[in-house]
Each structure stands twice: as structure tokens, then as C-alpha cells.
Amino acid sequence: MRLFTAIQPSPGFRAALEDLQQRLRETGVTGKYREADGLHLTLAFIGEWPEDITELLPVVRKPFSVTLSHLGIFPEANVLWAGVDPCEELDLLAKQVRHRLADAGIPFDRKGFNPHITLARKPFVPEKVILSEIQVPRVSMIVDDVCLYRSDRGKDGMVYTVIGNSSENADL
């Protein structure tokens, strides 16, 4: 299985991301936009691993809020993304997930944590469009769970499926 850990957007947060994608399209930004049900904020990308590791996900004992704030592009990955305000609790959660994976001997992508939600792959941004001038909705959501996702190749790209979440570990 191809796995990663992530935060699943709340319905309102997801709706704001869809609105942002539409606003980008209207400005002439093209690309392979992610479907709404595939939007997520990755904490750690694991890659190929043979088993469900939901039991390793940390329980979020003190829920916290994250807020959409800006747009960016990862040129090396050819990805257009939405970022969130700096959030110490989110950074600590990502570290906790990564420590648990490392302690269990599960390899993961060790690139620095840069919290973002991929909006589109292979974006083309016309010269007249300045991403920093596009209004990003200041929408917040409560983070109270960590999900384990499986990634499968579908006919139109990758399909992401939640296979477990940390709330399943709440009684452990």
C-alpha cells in the first residue's frame, strides 16, 4: 500500500478550498486541480508499506485551530498549494507523527514540514496573475484527528482513501 498521514479538512474548510480553486480558474490559472474529496494536509508521506499502521497515529488530546492564509508553488514538484498560518500545535503534531514512524522503523519522506494543501498539479500561472494578490479565504478549522490515507492510481490520477484515524486509538 502507498500510505501517508494527513489532516482531513472539515466540510467548511473544504468548501473554502473549492472556492479558492474556482477563483484561481477564473484568473486563468490552469492545471490538474485536485477533486474536493482528495484535499488534505499531509503530515508525513510514507510511501510503500505493507500494512495498516493506524495504531501508530497520535491522538489529538487538545484540539487546535488552523487557518488558511496564502498560496504558493513548489516549482520542483510542479504543485500549486494553499498554506496555513504558522501554528505551533500543528508543527508539534507533525513531529509527533514522524517520531512515532521513526520509532517503529517505518521509513517516511524526511523533507522539512511545510504545511500545505495541494490545489493543483502542473499549474500554469499567466504572467498577469500574481498569486500573492489572490484573496485566500481566512477560514479556520479545528484539528482533532490524524488520518492514515492510502493512495491508489485511478484513471484520472491519484485517489486518496482514509483507512484509519487517530480517534480509533483514543481508548488505548
pLDDT digit string (tens) for 132-162?
899 999 999 999 999 999 999 888 788 999 9
pTM across the whole model: 0.93
pLDDT at 171: 60
The structural domains of the chain, with segments of one domain joined by +, span 2-166
The highest-level CATH class for domain 2-166 is alpha beta
Tell me the DSSP string of 24-49. Answer: HHHTT-EEEEPPGGG--EEEEEEEE-
Which of 114, 36, 23, 37 has the alpha carbon at shortest distance from 77?
A: 114
**Largest Cα–Cα distance in the chain?**
54
Determine how many CB atoms are found less than 10 A away from the CB of residue 8.
19
Instruction: Using pLDDT thresholds of 50, 70 and 90, give the confidence band for residue 54.
Output: very high
Whole-number pLDDT of residue 170? 66
Encode 29-64: b = buried (16+ Cβ within 10 Å), e = exposed: bebebbeeebbbbbbbbbeebeeebbebbbbbeeee
- Cβ contact 162:146 at 8 Å: no
Arithmetic mean of pLDDT, 107-136: 94
Given the DSSP bridges, would you call strands 140-143 and 64-74 parallel, antiparallel or unpaired?
A: antiparallel
Backbone torsions φ then ψ of 111, nearest 5 degrees: -55, 150
- How far apart are the C-alpha atoms of 81 and 70, rounded to whole Å? 9
